[in-house]
Structure 1
Amino acid sequence: MKSSQLLLLSFLLLSSLPNLLMADNPEPLYDISGDKVLPGKNYFIVSAIWGAGGGGLSLIPGKNEICLRDVVQLSSDLQRGLSLYFQPLNGTATDYIYESTDLNIVFTTFSEVKLCTAPRVWKVDDFDPSTEQWFITTTGDIRKPGPLTSLNWFKVEKHSVLDRVYKINHCPASEGLCKDVGIYYTEGTRRLALSETPFIFVIIKAESVLNRAKIANVI
């Protein structure tokens, strides 16, 4: 082999090494304060684009229902929406939530929100032929991956070189769907759906927002 070819091969192997290491040793997720994200702890996920990027997440009624089931993004960046937590594949045995690992995303229960008897676990809904979209709903359940639960599983991944900016991906091995979660605009509503363009966000501790709200009310 010529020396130039050997040099090129060495360069390609070295350049791919960080990606291989990241796949074997995923990094923890970090909230906007720089703290590692914990399983079962409540957080808000809010658009990383301030202003026109919108705010946090909430729920709207599902198809032909009055119960709040389908996930939407609020239009104002001042709105944090509903808090949620991440449930990893191996339950609470892990110390932190890691990038690119299978997990359930679960909304926290709020007494003032009419959830009816619906579960709060994110799930990719059945294909909607009227819009040709796969919307995100909350009729999933927390169980181990398998043919019956493949639509319940998501991964949180780093979006770019920017620190603490993430996207959500749905790509279980047991089905053909493999896309990011993005925003579908319809009738003034920002619905979460599988998309080629991801919704990018930061993670904010729910307790820090609620504590600031309590201080503001006292003042």
Structure 2
Amino acid sequence: MKSSLLLLLSFLLLSSLPNLLMADNPEPLYDSSGDKVLPGKNYFIVSAIRGAGGGGLSLIPGKNEKCLRDVVQLRSDLQRGLSLYFQPLNGTTTDYIYESTVLNIVFTTFPEIKLCTAPRAWKVDAFDPSTGQWFITTTGDIRKPGPLTALNWFKVEKLSVFDGVYKINYCPLSVGLCKDVGIYHTEGARRLALSETPFIFVIIKAESVLKEARIASVI
């Protein structure tokens, strides 16, 4: 049964691969400064809604673990959280990160944050029956798309009515579990999970935030 399911997933993936990898005439992503988003460069993802919309992203311990693995949104819009970068497909040569194209989302390592031995790439965690949610964790692999890495791939999509405002979509096979990444409130935390209501955000250069912090410390 498992082998049959794996073969089916492989067939679905291969048949949808052209649409999965690159949308028709995609536009580059833009950061809050109006510059095109670059692969491998560090950015912050911060809520596009000021005030009650919350801030950037961080990590909390995973299920029954001390390691920081699961992705959460910070409560204050003054908190930028952890920086991350967008990783295109292995072997893909691209000058910029484009809308609606498959990619890995990977947190940058900070010395003061103990990630244990966990990878830093986003992944859709196993279904949580206690909450009925598919949470976002950071135990993913950075590999080429395939049945074994189907949970690791996301797309960043533009909200059509706003320039520079984006959402994250998970739909690795173009069939089945296709949802946006939203916020689920639980245990005093704003946890990222698959949702019908997307978490909308802007992309901010990490170097801009660090520069502002240095200037503020001098004043």
AA of the residue aligned to 1:114: K
Q: Deviations over 1:170-192 (max 9, x none)?
A: 00117621100000001221000
Residue-pair matches, total: 198
Superposition TM-score, scaled by structure 1 size: 0.88
The answer to whether the aligner puts 1:149 opposite 2:138 as a matched pair is no
**Structure 1 match to 2:102:** 102
Q: What is the SS of the residue equivalent to 2:148?
A: coil
Kindly indicate whether the alpha-carbon contact (under 8 Å) linking 1:146 and 1:174 is maintained by their aligned counterparts in 2: no
Deviation of the 1:93 alpha carbon: 1.2
Q: Deviations over 1:49-84 (max 9, x none)?
A: 000000000000000000000000000000000000
Kindly indicate whether the alpha-carbon contact (under 8 Å) linking 1:29 and 1:164 is maintained by their aligned counterparts in 2: yes
Bigger Rg over Cα:
1
Distance in 1 (alpha carbons) for counterparts of 2:167 and 2:59: 19
**Structure 1 match to 2:26:** 26
Question: Percent of pairs identical after alignment?
Answer: 88
Q: Any unmatched runs of 5+ in structure 1?
A: 1-21
Deviation of the 1:91 alpha carbon: 4.5
RMSD: 1.3
Give the structure, 1 or 2, with the largest relative contact order (CA under 8 Å, sep 6 or more).
2
Superposition TM-score, scaled by structure 2 size: 0.88
Does 191-200 or 88-97 show the bigger shift?
Answer: 88-97
**Structure 2 match to 1:79:** 79
Kindly indicate whether the alpha-carbon contact (under 8 Å) linking 1:55 and 1:80 is maintained by their aligned counterparts in 2: yes
Deviation of the 1:124 alpha carbon: 0.1
Distance in 2 (alpha carbons) for counterparts of 1:175 and 1:159: 21
Q: Any unmatched runs of 5+ in structure 2?
A: 1-21
Q: What is the SS of the residue equivalent to 1:208?
A: helix
**Structure 2 match to 1:51:** 51
Distance in 2 (alpha carbons) for counterparts of 1:49 and 1:160: 16
The answer to whether the aligner puts 1:202 opposite 2:202 as a matched pair is yes
Distance in 1 (alpha carbons) for counterparts of 2:82 and 2:136: 15
**Structure 2 match to 1:187:** 187
Distance in 1 (alpha carbons) for counterparts of 2:117 and 2:99: 31
Q: What is the SS of the residue equivalent to 1:93?
A: coil
Q: Deviations over 1:118-167 (max 9, x none)?
A: 00000000000000000000000100000000000000001232100000
The structure 1 segments of at least 4 consecutive aligned residues displaced by more than 4 Å after TM superposition are: none
Q: What is the SS of the residue equivalent to 1:41?
A: coil
Distance in 2 (alpha carbons) for counterparts of 1:175 and 1:106: 24
